[in-house]
């Protein structure tokens, strides 16, 4: 048995232990598809940015079959890897990666595929997830699209190396796949601020779409049942998951306009917003559209493009906030938290979505309940 085979089996054991892999056919796919073929090189965090790692030794192979996300591109620039290789660690923002195998397993199982289903994958990336789909369904039923032609070309070649030939296209994934056919399932491995109507229109009525919401606060996995035309309804899933956004759905971080800082006490820790395991986080995000959070020294800052900002810090066992701009963001957080407590502390799986073209809302408990526009 080769070292790669042993490591693949160990990875499946890890996914089983995490409780994210249950279907025997997906277990077989993860044991069979060689992830290392799709990751001949990648970046790892380093003190001054990102360091380059390339194939050739046991440490590279161990990283490939670790349960970690592996970054393969920074700032949409494939040349940064070569610079990191020869010049040392490079700064940059990840723009493509091979996702954590655990979230891949969750999404593949939530897709509920059956033999004969035609699947569209948005976000080819390295091609590894595409290969898992090909192993399960056969190449002829798998379509994949990515906006980056270099990524698509590299993925197509690596898929061919191991005997897979899905339909691949370099195009804007927000528009679906250029072929113009209907799909039983759509899987998006990048996050979106709203559900592109083209996906709904290209999915068979009753078919499923699985993706993640691109929300600075309160993102996560959703599964949608397509209706006629560009309509659908769905649920926010109990499992959480975060992905890089579809390129057309990226948002620009805002800068705080602070002025004089005056602190006041608050009973809420910042973790109610920034920890993905927080039950309040999803509800809070509905009240803070467009607000981003960033760590600055010993405090965390919330910022909105309208110039509103909040800085939060801990002093001993106490919490303090300072606020500025046209709105008091932390007062919004505090009011939303009281509202959330009064509603019985709903977790993300109590929320659903109703979609009709560009008219898209999130609701609590039922479509007739409380609703919020679906926006970042």
> Which residues are catalytic, by number?
99
- Helix (H) or strand (E) segment spanning residue 192: strand 183-192
What is the Cα–Cα distance from 14 to 18, expressed in whole angstroms?
6
Q: Which residues contact 317 (CB under 8 A, 6 or more apart)?
A: none
* Token couple for 134: 């090909």
What is the Cα–Cα distance from 153 to 169, expressed in whole angstroms?
9
* CA torsion, ordered 127, 129, 134, 136, to nearest 10 deg: 170
Helix ranges, 268-364 (H): 271-274, 281-287, 329-342
Q: Do 100 and 244 form a contact (C-beta atoms < 8 A)?
A: no
Token look-up 């602070």 returns: 258
Rg (CA), the chain: 22
Burial of 157 (0-12, 13-18, 19+ CB in 10 A): exposed
Q: Which residues make beta-bridge pairs with 50?
A: 45, 90
* Token couple for 228: 């006629």
Best CA proximity match to 11, nearest among 127, 99, 101: 101
């Amino acid at each position: 048995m080769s070292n790669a085979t042993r490591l693949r089996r160990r990875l499946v054991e890890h996914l089983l232990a995490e409780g994210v892999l249950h279907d025997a056919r997906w277990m077989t796919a993860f044991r069979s598809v060689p992830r290392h073929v799709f990751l001949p090189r990648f970046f790892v965090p380093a003190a001054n940015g990102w360091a380059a790692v390339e194939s050739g030794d046991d440490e590279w192979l161990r990283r490939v079959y670790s349960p970690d996300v592996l970054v393969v591109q920074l700032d949409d620039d494939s040349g940064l890897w070569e610079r990191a290789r020869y010049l040392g660690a490079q700064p940059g923002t990840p723009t493509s990666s091979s996702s954590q195998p655990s979230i891949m397993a969750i999404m593949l199982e939530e897709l509920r595929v059956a033999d004969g289903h035609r699947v569209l994958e948005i976000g080819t990336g390295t091609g590894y997830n595409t290969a898992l789909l090909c192993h399960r369904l056969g190449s002829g039923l798998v379509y994949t699209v990515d906006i980056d032609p270099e990524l698509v070309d590299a993925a197509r070649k690596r898929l061919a190396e191991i005997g897979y030939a899905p339909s691949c296209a370099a195009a804007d994934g927000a528009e679906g796949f250029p072929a113009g056919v209907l799909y039983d399932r759509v899987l998006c491995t990048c996050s979106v601020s709203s559900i592109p109507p083209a996906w709904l229109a290209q999915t068979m009525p009753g078919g499923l779409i699985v993706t993640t919401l691109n929300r600075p606060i309160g993102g996560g996995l959703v599964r949608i049942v397509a209706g006629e035309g560009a309509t659908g309804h769905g649920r926010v899933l109990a499992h959480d998951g975060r992905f890089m956004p579809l390129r057309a759905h990226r948002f620009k971080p805002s800068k705080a306009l602070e002025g004089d800082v005056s602190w006041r006490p608050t009973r809420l820790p910042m973790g109610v917003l920034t920890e993905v395991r927080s039950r309040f986080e999803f509800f809070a995000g509905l009240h803070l559209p467009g607000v981003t959070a960033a760590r600055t020294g010993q405090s965390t800052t919330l910022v909105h493009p309208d110039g509103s900002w909040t800085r939060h810090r801990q002093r001993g066992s106490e919490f303090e906030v300072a606020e500025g701009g046209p709105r008091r963001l932390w007062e919004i957080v505090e009011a939303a938290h009281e509202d959330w407590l009064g509603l019985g502390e709903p977790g993300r799986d109590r929320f659903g979505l109703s979609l009709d073209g560009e008219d898209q809302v999130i609701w609590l408990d039922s479509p007739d309940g409380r609703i919020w526009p679906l926006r970042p």
